Structure 1
Amino acid sequence: MKNYTLIVLLATFTGFAVNAQVVESGAQLQLIADHFKFTEGPAADAMGNVFFTDQPNNRIWKYGTDGTLSVFMEPAGRANGLYFDREGYLIACADEHYELWRIGMDKQVQKLAVNYKDSLFNGPNDVWVSPSGMIYFTDPYYQRDYWTRTSPKMHNRALYVYNDGRVTRLDSQFKQPNGIIGTPDGKFLYVADIGDSKIYRYAIQANGTLADKQLFASQGSDGMTIDAEGNIYLTGKGIDVYNPAGQKIEHIDIPANWTANVCFGGPNRDLLFITASEKVFILKMAVKATH
């Protein structure tokens, strides 16, 4: 399939107006498109354009601030979670061969990490880049139909950090780590153990290591994001919003079988971009993310 641009006609879901502390009053969920197989990994660049993956179809898409939708990259290493680093490169969990990639806007790929010690990763799933440039990623195990292997080489399903060519395992006490997000000031990291229905919060140390692991919420999550108020957005059956104290303050229904991930996009970072099964949506928010 060639790269092409599709002018998007937003379809408003009548009856899905959302009344929430974090959603703009009267805002309605808007469908961008629904012709994907399974959408994941939304990440916004410095201008607010959102890149996301359709992993089964091996594509990375771009939703522009002008409302256009286009294929950014194909094939795309079966990319799953995405995040932009401070230099404008797209960091991707390239699941096809269990790797962590750095992708330029010219689509040139640098393989940052392909193994831990002498073992292949299970399949990097989600990723967050700290303000200092350290790359944190989760490595669960989800059997893929495009793999020849049928079991993981590593027993541990763990959390890692990549920094300056080196991979360090930070925590392996998970059933199935998945979603990950950090605070914009780089002080705290949130990681979901979707296999154990828990969200943990860590304090990030100056050298990038983690301390003071605490249970933040007794709920799992596929993907996560954070707004400028410090509220954490969890995904799965719709979207649940927790304040920084770990109190659930809102639920947003999404008309899809599964809500995989979310991020803030748009020129003002006040559009919640939602990947949900074969669909993607946007929702105007009363809060925004930091640039």
Structure 2
Amino acid sequence: MRKMHALGLIAFSALVAVHCSSLKKETPSEEETNSIVATGAELQTVSDQFKFTEGPASDKEGNVYFTDQPNDDIWKWSPDGSLVKFMDTTGRSNGLYIDDEGYLLAAADQDNELWKINLQDKSHEVLLKGWQGMKYNGPNDMWLDKKGGIYFTDPLYKRVYWTDTLYEQTTCNVFYLPPGADTPIVQDTTLIRPNGIIGTPNQKYLYVADNTGKKLYRYEIGADGNLQNKMLFADTGSDGMTIDNEGNIYITGDGVTVYNSSGEKIHHIPIDRSWTANVTFGGPDQDILFITAMNSVFTLKMNVHGVRW
């Protein structure tokens, strides 16, 4: 009897140990709890049907518009998972941004222009087509301040669809178009290829990536919108960029790498593609990270959220 009782205790103890062990595995670690990524969230492939995806921009409902530039298309992803081609013949749109009036702004580099697209009837007007009598290198990405001013980058990336190879600009510039103005003001001429651009919600700082120079710079935004007090933020380049409600900066290239507002690397999201081009937040609560990478687009549920809307 005692022997059987002892064996029963051993079996019971083993069962309890297994049960407690399983409970421990289900409990998130401190690292998981404090992560910017939602606990248990995994990268989801939305689609891999494209040629090269770029320029994601979210509207107030959380829909994300993005470009398939080689195919000259703009697509729309909705939070319910639906995916539809929104527009073709887009001027080879690259970076996108939705303004406060609901218009879709596009860096349309087929003819080196900046477009304003009506989301209702898909008509467009050309906002900008040149500077000081010279065509742009190829507007790439943009960010709007709360006044409606437009900051945009103008690097030179030779496109196979260009028939004119006469490059008129002598530098690759960062521009600011003040609200209501017809002519942008050049802000920086010293970057090799200014690319990704994003500002802080308080309108205090603007971040610009020199992708070729492998540098990320931070500027103070003056009261008149002009940039000042440029400083090196991180020794890294980036294609597109975004920012979350905690002030973390998301850069692209090798997956998505996240830096906090002090310039410290805090997270990396690996993407199984050779290049990650751009990133933004979407969804009704702006807590879905939307990532464009080569022929694909991905989503990832986050603990943080975007701050655009």
Would you call these one fold, judging by a TM-score over 0.5?
yes
Instruction: Give yes or no for contact 2:73–2:92 (8 Å, CA) kept in 1.
Output: yes
- Find the counterpart in structure 2 of residue 128 from structure 1: 143
Instruction: Give yes or no for contact 1:21–1:249 (8 Å, CA) kept in 2.
Output: no
**Among 259, 265, 274, the residue aligned to 2:291:** 274
**Among 220, 224, 232, the residue aligned to 1:203:** 220
1:251 correspondence with 2:268? yes
Equivalent-residue separation in structure 2 for 1:256 and 1:107 (angstroms): 31
1:89 correspondence with 2:103? yes
Q: Which has the larger radius of gyration?
A: 2
**Among 35, 45, 49, the residue aligned to 1:21:** 35
Deviation, 1:150, is 2.4
Equivalent-residue separation in structure 2 for 1:76 and 1:96 (angstroms): 9
Instruction: Give yes or no for contact 1:143–1:151 (8 Å, CA) kept in 2.
Output: no
Structure with a larger share of its residues in strand: 1
Deviation, 1:289, is 1.1
Instruction: Give yes or no for contact 1:131–1:185 (8 Å, CA) kept in 2.
Output: no
- Find the counterpart in structure 1 of residue 162 from structure 2: 147
- Find the counterpart in structure 1 of residue 9 from structure 2: none
Alignment: residue pair count:
274
- Find the counterpart in structure 1 of residue 19 from structure 2: none
Q: Secondary structure at the match of 1:56?
A: helix
Equivalent-residue separation in structure 1 for 2:194 and 2:83 (angstroms): 31
Paired amino acid for 1:245:
S
Q: Deviations over 1:199-242 (max 9, x none)?
A: 00011111110111010110000010000000000000101100
Equivalent-residue separation in structure 2 for 1:151 and 1:222 (angstroms): 25
Q: Deviations over 1:160-215 (max 9, x none)?
A: 01122221111111011100001112111000001110000011111110111010
Instruction: Give yes or no for contact 1:38–1:55 (8 Å, CA) kept in 2.
Output: yes
Equivalent-residue separation in structure 2 for 1:162 and 1:277 (angstroms): 30
Paired amino acid for 1:117:
Q
- Find the counterpart in structure 2 of residue 30 from structure 1: 44
Q: Secondary structure at the match of 2:146?
A: coil
TM normalised by structure 2 equals: 0.87
Q: Secondary structure at the match of 2:187?
A: strand
TM normalised by structure 1 equals: 0.92
RMSD: 1.2
Q: Secondary structure at the match of 1:115?
A: coil
Structure with a larger share of its residues in helix: 2
- Find the counterpart in structure 1 of residue 305 from structure 2: 288
- Find the counterpart in structure 1 of residue 18 from structure 2: none
Equivalent-residue separation in structure 2 for 1:54 and 1:216 (angstroms): 30
- Please, which runs of 5 or more residues in structure 2 have no aligned partner? 1-30
1:231 correspondence with 2:245? no
- Find the counterpart in structure 2 of residue 184 from structure 1: 201
- Find the counterpart in structure 2 of residue 13 from structure 1: none
% identity of equivalent residues: 53
Equivalent-residue separation in structure 1 for 2:224 and 2:117 (angstroms): 25
- Find the counterpart in structure 2 of residue 162 from structure 1: 177
Equivalent-residue separation in structure 2 for 1:275 and 1:114 (angstroms): 27
Instruction: Give yes or no for contact 1:132–1:186 (8 Å, CA) kept in 2.
Output: no
Deviation, 1:151, is 4.4
Instruction: Give yes or no for contact 1:203–1:213 (8 Å, CA) kept in 2.
Output: yes
